[in-house]
Amino acid sequence: MTLPAAIDSDLQRNAALSLYEYLVLAALSEAPDRMLQMSDLAYRANSSLSRLSHLISRLEKRGWVIKRPCENDRRASTVELTTAGDKKIRSAAPGHAQLVQDLVVEPLSPAQLQRLGEAAAAIVQAIDTARNRGPDG
């Protein structure tokens, strides 16, 4: 729990972004045409649609994203990263990458990094399995 808090604190101090905002902007920056449907974005940011909707409203006010109805499904919404949002995430990324390097990569040996990757993959697989099973098991 201390790692996400340290990353969040650093992002807020150096980029005026929360970790959650960074994750959403980064997901959009990596997406084709810099846009995603809200449901896909919520999944990538490990968020509920309700929480994401509130964040998207704040990011729209800053001029970093545009939310509009999805062209092929009017019940869904698409979020697009604006040029200003792309500039924001690109300015924050180097410092974020350096912090992750300093806090996660550098302290570990290559063998430890390998084991960490394997352990993280197993945890993600267990989470995905539990999600797919649903609340009733």
Q: Tens of pLDDT along the chain (137 residues)?
A: 899 999 999 999 999 999 999 999 999 999 999 999 999 999 999 899 999 999 999 999 999 999 999 887 778 899 999 999 999 999 999 999 999 999 999 999 999 999 999 999 999 999 889 888 866 65
Check which CATH number belongs to the domain holding 22 and give it: 1.10.10.10
Residue 101 lies in a domain: no
pTM: predicted TM-score of the whole model, two decimal places: 0.87
State both tokens at 8: 């969040």
What's the domain count of the chain? 1
Residue 57 lies in a domain: yes
Domain ranges, residue 61 = 2-92
- Rounded to an integer, what distance in angstroms lies between the CA atom of residue 55 and that of residue 17? 12
Residue 17 lies in a domain: yes
Torsion of CA 117, 122, 127, 133, to 10 degrees: 150
